[in-house]
Structure 1
Amino acid sequence: MPSRSFVVLAEQAQARHDGRVQFRQVLIDAVKPAVDLVYPPRCPLCGTAIAQQKGLCAPCWSELIIPGEPCCTTCQRPFPADYSEAAMVCGPCMADPPRHDGIAAGTLYNHASRALVLSFKHGRRIALSRMLAPLIIAQLPQLEGEWLVVPVPLHWSRLWYRGFNQAALLAEHIAKATGQTLLVDGLRRTRRTQPLGGLGRKGRERMLSGSIRLHPRKSDVMKAAQVILVDDVLTSGATSDACVKALKRGGAKTVKIACFSRVLDEARGQNTAMPETKTPEA
């Protein structure tokens, strides 16, 4: 049993923390009208005036495609609405069973989600992470036990150029909302790869071979761990597959992929360009 003095100190520390949080919220509420006056809230997609400095206007919200059921129990690939069988698995997962243990995608990739990703990642509008992360969280299954939230890593040179890792920003929000542990440096990208846009799955796999590894100092915490692997866009799955392989080689028991937008194979032949083709540092 902890001593009474320890309990008192813990209660005082919690009270101080609660006071800081309350003061910060009061400060935010106080300056919000001034911020809205100088920077009127606008929809980040179309520029239409909106009520708050977050979210989209109603027409742009309607353009996002939110995955739902029925869907593949392995990868969340949507099925036609008239499918009603339980525990359905899609053809690609049956033909080539994935290494991961499930996908939670906030949206399916289309022009609206692409525009958000480009603004977030390449337009450096990092505040969009507060809007994108809840869409991912809404698709996560019930998390039993303790989980590690691990972002897909950037090579240090690309991180230096861009100034942030978009996957890490999303992972931070997900960890905070779910009460799980953020492991921002769980994976390392040991070699800078060329942009993957325009490459097929096999080409992406060859490009990424050996470039993503478990951080050597995180091997102990990864043993038998349950992991949520976070990225902004899941395209061919080559990058996430390399990460899953590294995590499971390091001892992870379960790895679920969480992303804002997921590109379906059947949509990749359309004219919508992949985000990598817009990477400025390329």
Structure 2
Amino acid sequence: MAIWKRVLHNFLDLFLADRCCLCDRPTTNVDRLCTSCEQRLQTHQFSPANQFLTDEIPVLVWGLYGGSLKQAIAAMKYENYPQLAAPLGRWLAQAWLNSLKNRRPKSSRSKYAVVPIPMHPEKVKQRGFNQAELIAKSFCETTGYPLRSHGLARIRPTQAQFGLSREQRQQNLARALALGKDFHRRPPQYPVLLVDDIYTTGATCREAVKALQKHQIPVAGILAIATSRTDS
């Protein structure tokens, strides 16, 4: 009788257990990632020496956009798997904290205000969430930094940046971002870290930096999960 109970239990587990959102295997991981897919994602991480891109403001990117990392970001954004933001945010936080340990001279600053790149309210309504905000939330849970979800606001809709030239991206984003209600009420006590999912030309982040600097709010760095760029 005990054998049949065990068989029945295993049979029910097969159908009732959570499934990995990348390969559909059963998993007990709350992030909906099986061990195999998590290990594949980790292979996309840049080495510490290659995590910073050469731009005006320090840009730290966790990994190379492609393969399973590209699949995970697409699943999060377009297939309604927002829970994938949790591990991505944790990994980004660990990379950032490690970079602080290795930086010379070491920064004396211990906190930053974390601001996700905003989406237009209509787009948030369609998708149900802003993936940058969810990544930033997980990042802050690991670092202990304060999250300012509405430090910035997208005040007009913009078309998708994919497929646009550098100049078209800049025009598309011109005056699309402004100071959000969090900072209208009270400016941040700490320099800002901007968080996004993908960093390509940096056009979106440059507009975010402009919007903050217009109000004398310093930006200490830009953090993203993935980039297709390999310069460092």
Instruction: Tell me whether the two structures share a fold, i.e. TM-score over 0.5.
Output: yes
Mapped to 2, the partners of 1:224 and 1:248 lie a distance apart of 14
Residue aligning to 1:4? none
Contact 2:150 2:181 in 1 (8 A): no
User: Is the counterpart of residue 113 in structure 1 residue 91 in structure 2?
Assistant: no
Deviation at 1:48, TM superposition (A): 3.5
Contact 1:232 1:259 in 2 (8 A): yes
Once the two structures are superposed, what CA deviation does each residue of 1:161-191 show, in whole Å capped at 9, x if it has no partner? 1111111111111112211111110001011
Residue aligning to 2:52? 76
Contact 2:46 2:62 in 1 (8 A): yes
- Larger mean Cα displacement after TM superposition, 132-141 or 115-124: 132-141
Once the two structures are superposed, what CA deviation does each residue of 1:22-68 show, in whole Å capped at 9, x if it has no partner? xxxxxxxxxxx9x9665434433223445634334436623541111
Residue aligning to 2:81? 125
Mapped to 2, the partners of 1:219 and 1:58 lie a distance apart of 45
Structural mapping, 1:130-149, within 5 Å? 130-140=86-96, 141-142=99-100, 144-149=109-114
Structure 2 residue runs of 5 or longer lacking an equivalent are 1-9, 101-106
Residue aligning to 1:193? 158
Structural mapping, 1:202-217, within 5 Å? 202-215=167-180
Contact 2:26 2:34 in 1 (8 A): no
Mapped to 1, the partners of 2:157 and 2:230 lie a distance apart of 26
User: Is the counterpart of residue 234 in structure 1 residue 199 in structure 2?
Assistant: yes
Residue aligning to 2:45? 66
Distance 1:216 1:70, change over 3 A: closer
Contact 2:200 2:229 in 1 (8 A): yes
Which structure has the larger Rg over C-alpha atoms?
1
- Larger mean Cα displacement after TM superposition, 140-149 or 167-176: 140-149
- Larger mean Cα displacement after TM superposition, 139-148 or 191-200: 139-148
Structure 1 residue runs of 5 or longer lacking an equivalent are 1-32, 78-92, 267-282
Distance 1:138 1:217, change over 3 A: closer
Residue aligning to 2:130? 165
Give the TM-score, by structure 2 length. 0.79
Return the structure number with greater relative CO, CA threshold 8 A, min gap 6: 2
Give the TM-score, by structure 1 length. 0.66
Contact 1:105 1:261 in 2 (8 A): yes
Residue aligning to 2:104? none
Distance 1:36 1:256, change over 3 A: farther
Letter aligned with residue 211 of structure 1: A
Query: Runs in 1 of length 4+ with deviation above 6 angstroms?
Result: none
Distance 1:146 1:48, change over 3 A: same
Contact 1:200 1:236 in 2 (8 A): no
Residue aligning to 1:3? none
Once the two structures are superposed, what CA deviation does each residue of 1:139-162 show, in whole Å capped at 9, x if it has no partner? 113372331111100111111111
Mapped to 1, the partners of 2:28 and 2:125 lie a distance apart of 35
Mapped to 2, the partners of 1:41 and 1:265 lie a distance apart of 36
CA RMSD of aligned residues (A): 2.6
Contact 1:226 1:254 in 2 (8 A): yes
Distance 1:217 1:115, change over 3 A: closer
